[in-house]
Amino acid sequence: MKILVALKQVPDTETKVKVAADGKSLDPADVKWITSPYDEYALEEAIRLKESAQAEVTVVTVGDDKAKDILRNALALGADNAVLLKGDGHGDALAIASLLAAYAKDKGFDLIFAGNKGIGGDNAAVGPMLAELLGVAQANVVLKFEVTGTTFKAEREIEGGTEVVEGNLPVVMTAQKGLNEPRYASLKGIMAAKKKTIEEVEVAGLGAATTWSALTLPPSRPEGRKIEGDAASQAKSLIGLLKDEAKVI
Ligand SMILES: Cc1cc2nc3c(=O)[nH]c(=O)nc-3n(C[C@H](O)[C@H](O)[C@H](O)COP(=O)(O)OP(=O)(O)OC[C@H]3O[C@@H](n4cnc5c(N)ncnc54)[C@H](O)[C@@H]3O)c2cc1C
């Protein structure tokens, strides 16, 4: 069985992102980069299948040289092959899905895993678009995934319940938080990953259908206010503020 896992490099959730001077892109200075957390679930699922069903796991990302870090980390966790589709990774979801589809086409992947969304971009679109472009089945926002022979069964999170979908391989599956508990890389894995080769494929002309025209951060929140006095006067002041200032009661 051949599994492809699409990984996206994103700013660490702890990073305080800044908008660049052009007002429509991120300032990359001081950003710590990580694997998008939903992609970690996708990768863990692939590695578990490798362990139970002798699969070969390939990880792929569209990005620049610094994106090799997440590929190296995936190799340390147990991926067999890593591919960098070398571009700046700044196309829209359709452009990224098109590049991934062009890479995956004709390579015989039975399973293609992705995060259900890339944090920061939050389009939740690359996986479904990739399935459409490849003309294969898709199961999105998946909490439980099983493969039996040439078929799959997936439990999906839907509003107020769970939906079970089944179909034939190949399939694109996008992972939801809770699909599994991602592992940490072992020292042995980290050392072995250093010796592995990352395949680099130059990609050009993302052909994005949309571009970022403006990027703004939410307005900063006003400072909190401390209400002094005993409990009764604090409660009285609080009610007054909620009524007259915040106008919520
Ligand atoms: C630092 C930064 C700067 C950016 N700057 C720009 C910009 O200036 N202009 C602009 O138009 N766009 C920019 N983007 C957006 C970027 O191109 C997005 O990757 C793209 O739009 C996909 O959006 P998404 O993460 O919301 O996709 P989603 O559909 O939410 O992603 C779902 C899944 O698809 C896979 N995936 C997504 N992206 C990739 C990838 N690159 N490689 C492999 N798999 C992937 C992952 O498995 C991911 O979990 C920037 C993104 C980042 C992180």
Summarised one tens digit per residue, pLDDT across range 27-48 is 988 899 999 999 999 999 999 9
pLDDT at position 97 over 70: yes
1: confidence class by pLDDT, cuts 50, 70, 90? very high
Q: Which residues are CB-neighbours of 130 under 8 A, at least 6 positions away?
A: 6, 97, 100, 101, 104, 112, 114, 172
Taking the CA of residue 167 as centre, how many other CA atoms within 13 Å lie in the half-sphere pointing to its CB?
Answer: 16
**CA atoms of 198 and 122, how far apart (whole Å):** 27
Q: pLDDT tens digits, residue range 12-27?
A: 988 888 999 999 888 9
Residue 183 backbone class (left: φ over 0; alpha: ψ -120 to 50; beta: rest):
beta
Q: Is the CB of 115 under 6 A from ligand 1?
A: yes
Most confident range (mean pLDDT) of 82-91, 94-103, 203-212, 216-225 is: 94-103
Q: Is the CB of 8 under 6 A from ligand 1?
A: yes
**pTM more than 0.75:** yes
Q: Which comes out higher in pLDDT, residue 121 or 206?
A: 121
Cα-to-centroid distance, 91 and ligand 1 (Å): 7
* 243, burial (CB in 10 Å: exposed 0-12, middle 13-18, buried 19+): exposed
Residue pair 4/104 in contact (Cβ under 8 Å)? The answer is yes
Mean pLDDT computed over 90-105 = 93
Q: Is the CB of 207 under 6 A from ligand 1?
A: no
The pLDDT assigned to 209 comes to 86
Task: Give, in order, the Cα–Cα distances in Å from 20 to each of 91, 95, 179, 191, 206.
Answer: 17, 22, 35, 37, 22
**CA atoms of 41 and 18, how far apart (whole Å):** 28
Q: Is the CB of 92 under 6 A from ligand 1?
A: yes
Cα-to-centroid distance, 87 and ligand 1 (Å): 12
Cα-to-centroid distance, 16 and ligand 1 (Å): 18
**What φ, ψ does residue 171 adopt, rounded to 5°?**
-145, 145
**Average pLDDT of every residue of the chain:** 94
**CA atoms of 185 and 102, how far apart (whole Å):** 30
Closest by Cα among 134, 105, 127, 132 to 175 = 127
| DSSP label of 137 | E
Q: Which comes out higher in pLDDT, residue 115 or 14?
A: 115
**CA atoms of 25 and 22, how far apart (whole Å):** 7
Q: Is the CB of 103 under 6 A from ligand 1?
A: no
The pLDDT assigned to 205 comes to 66
Q: Cβ of 33: how many Cβ atoms within 10 Å?
A: 15
Q: pLDDT tens digits, residue range 194-244?
A: 999 999 999 986 678 888 889 998 888 888 889 999 999 999 999 999 999
Q: Is the CB of 213 under 6 A from ligand 1?
A: no
CA angle, 36 as apex, 184 and 166 as ends, to 5°? 90
Question: Among 88, 90, 215, which residue has the most ligand 1 atoms within 8 Å of its CB, making it the best to mutate?
Answer: 90
Q: Is the CB of 197 under 6 A from ligand 1?
A: no
Cα-to-centroid distance, 93 and ligand 1 (Å): 6
Question: Among 126, 173, 177, 212, which residue has the most ligand 1 atoms within 8 Å of its CB, making it the best to mutate?
Answer: 126
pLDDT at position 181 over 90: yes
Q: Which comes out higher in pLDDT, residue 102 or 25?
A: 102
Residue pair 213/24 in contact (Cβ under 8 Å)? The answer is yes
Q: Is the CB of 26 under 6 A from ligand 1?
A: yes
**CA atoms of 7 and 113, how far apart (whole Å):** 9
Strands 171-175 and 9-11: unpaired
pLDDT at position 55 over 70: yes
Atom of ligand 1 nearest to the CA of 121: 26
53: confidence class by pLDDT, cuts 50, 70, 90? confident
Q: Is the CB of 6 under 6 A from ligand 1?
A: yes
